[in-house]
Amino acid sequence: MLLRYAEDRVPVLLILLVFAADVSVYTMTDSWWGAPLWFALMLIPKGWISAWNHHHQHLPMFRHASLNRLLEFVLGLQTGVTSQTWYLHHVVGHHRNYLPGGSEDEATWRWSSGKPMTSIGFAFRTAAFAYPIALRNGLSGHRRALRVCITMLVLTLVCVGIALWHSPYNALFVFVGPMLTSLWLASWASYFHHAGLETDDHAEASYNIIHRGYNLMTGNLGYHTAHHMSPGLHWSKLPALHAKIESTIPDDCYRRPGIPFEWINREQQILRPDEG
């Protein structure tokens, strides 16, 4: 089997279908409104794809490196985060340094002065420094991942450059715009995972979202405490781990799912599983 886990078949298929649609819109759309409309329609779905990119960089979906690089090329054009970037920034960085919410965290929610950031400030800071921090961490003992990161980043930029040269208007809305906005939105969303929590206890250091729709679209990213306790665990196994540790998680470490889930399935807007 090419995939490590059978549960990844549907996410990979959907990611590739979205990419096929991207290429179709880029190559076939002649109207002035076609590409901008596609950009608007895909704004939130590509934010969800960012969550799957996050999972993939924790635990690669394929067993073979070449297939992982191919998937990462597609994910990079959809989310603005290329091969090994989140691995270097997030996996070997944030996950090791997020306790107790201090300045050492690659995704710190405090300014150097100690003042808490707003979600907007956090998003701009995290997005702007994502690649510099990844490259810095790569130079600090992760040279193999760094080589893949740089190679795939250059390849992606070359392909985006060719797309801009061939059809600048369509490339702007199909590739460049989504890459920038998805990176920013993923950064903005991650603010609500930890901001304001200062503790050395993993059970109290993350916010959780227990909502079926949210977790379906993000690969159970709402079980965030479980994810931090076992960051290499496959996304499909996070609910089971959450059930085991749920009694250790304080009531105030649960959040609502946000847009668009605030608009739909309101009966699912629960803060804890036992309230549903």
Residue 35 backbone dihedrals phi, psi, to 5 degrees = -65, -45
User: Rounded to an integer, what distance in angstroms lies between the CA atom of residue 106 and that of residue 76?
Assistant: 20
Least confident range from 53-57, 159-163, 259-263: namely 259-263
Query: pLDDT band at 260, cuts 50/70/90?
Result: confident
Residue 208 backbone dihedrals phi, psi, to 5 degrees = -115, 150
pLDDT of 258 higher than 90 = no
The answer, as to whether pTM is greater than 0.85, is yes
- Give the model's pLDDT for residue 275: 43
Question: Taking Cα atoms as reference points, which of 23, 58, 52 lies closest to residue 175?
Answer: 23
User: Rounded to an integer, what distance in angstroms lies between the CA atom of residue 81 and that of residue 50?
Assistant: 8
Using omega within 30 degrees of 0 as the cis cutoff, is the peptide bond preceding 178 cis? no
Q: Which two tokens stand for residue 257?
A: 């799912």
Residue 274 DSSP code? G
Question: Taking Cα atoms as reference points, which of 180, 179, 182, 189 lies closest to residue 120?
Answer: 189
Tell me the average pLDDT across 14-35: 97
- Give the model's pLDDT for residue 68: 98
pLDDT of 273 higher than 90 = no
User: Rounded to an integer, what distance in angstroms lies between the CA atom of residue 42 and that of residue 182?
Assistant: 10
Least confident range from 15-19, 102-106, 216-220: namely 102-106
Least confident range from 3-12, 14-23, 252-261: namely 252-261
User: Rounded to an integer, what distance in angstroms lies between the CA atom of residue 153 and that of residue 20?
Assistant: 21
Least confident range from 81-85, 109-113, 224-228: namely 109-113
pLDDT of 72 higher than 60 = yes
